[in-house]
Amino acid sequence: MNIQFKKGVLELCVLSILSHRDCYGYELVQEISKNITISEGTIYPLLRRLMDDGMFTTYLKESSEGPPRKYYTLTARGRQEQAALAAEWRRFVTGVNLIVEGEHGE
Amino acid sequence: MNIQFKKGVLELCVLSILSHRDCYGYELVQEISKNITISEGTIYPLLRRLMDDGMFTTYLKESSEGPPRKYYTLTARGRQEQAALAAEWRRFVTGVNLIVEGEHGE
DNA sequence: CAGGGTACCTTTTTATGCAAGGTAGCAAGT
DNA sequence: ACTTGCTACCTTGCATAAAAAGGTACCCTG
């Protein structure tokens, strides 16, 4: 998969999944991987960045299948950002499709 | 506009426009700008890179409105790449939309 | 106690868009 | 003649974000 396509979009993906329910990092990788390829080394720096930007808070929860999981919960700011990014994504895709399709149906 | 979204996509845009007709660099900026924002300083390094990759050939043509224009013509390789990138773009958008929309209609 | 899956994390590398700058041709106005 | 503004080409240095590669540690099974 084209790596460059993902720039900025993974942020939208993380925020979108968290807008439905709380997840821990490893789980986010698995969720996103269902639709687009992502490597584990990508998610943690991304989560840290979004955390620093105040997009979510975290809490730890024990697991019987391994080490404790760090769950992420969206803040109001995070929800706002998700909505804004999603809207911009839709506008962007529309614009690109017009260019790719040739703006008049080939 | 989110700069990151554009990563890799501008390459697809350039190839797509050139798959319809030959253009010169400055013209490509104007065409792309109709739908998504792009700065002039972006197009020339991109054109050089794609040129080095054998995506197109060039020819000069005089203009009465300024300096001579350098037109770009897609090679067979360029057409192939355009089709491949467009297909990947569509797959990618589908995957992202599934994540953003929540995969079940919210 | 070794292996495999879960789960966290960091550092370095690579790719690409942008800002800012430069050169030059041409036309219109003063 | 000179300035302004548009056309049209180009380059250098910076910022960003994903990946590769690596590390730590938990838990269960054989």
A87-102: average pLDDT: 95
Per-residue flag: B66 CB under 7 A of strand C: yes
**Predicted local confidence at residue B81, as pLDDT:** 96
Interatomic CA distance for residues A64 and A67, integer angstroms: 8
Alpha carbon A84 to its chain's center: 13
**Predicted local confidence at residue A65, as pLDDT:** 87
**Predicted local confidence at residue B64, as pLDDT:** 85
Task: Express each pLDDT in A6-44 by its tens digit.
Answer: 999 999 999 999 999 999 999 999 999 999 999 999 999
Q: In chain A, which ranges are continuous DSSP H helix? A: 9-18, 25-33, 40-52, 76-101
**Predicted local confidence at residue B106, as pLDDT:** 47
Percent of chain B topping pLDDT 90: 91
From the candidates A1, A2, A30, A79, which should be mutated to test the interface with B, based on the most B CB atoms within 10 A? Answer: A2
Task: Express each pLDDT in B52-84 by its tens digit.
Answer: 999 999 999 988 888 999 999 999 999 999 999
Task: Express each pLDDT in B16-50 by its tens digit.
Answer: 999 999 999 999 999 999 999 999 999 999 999 99
Per-residue flag: A2 CB under 7 A of strand D: no
pLDDT at A82 over 80: yes
Angle of the A76-101 helix axis to the B76-101 helix axis, nearest 10:
150
- Domains recognised in chain B with CATH numbers: 4-101 (1.10.10.10)
Interface contact flag, B100 A12, Cβ < 8 Å: yes
Q: Is A54 left (phi over 0), alpha (psi -120 to 50) or beta?
A: left
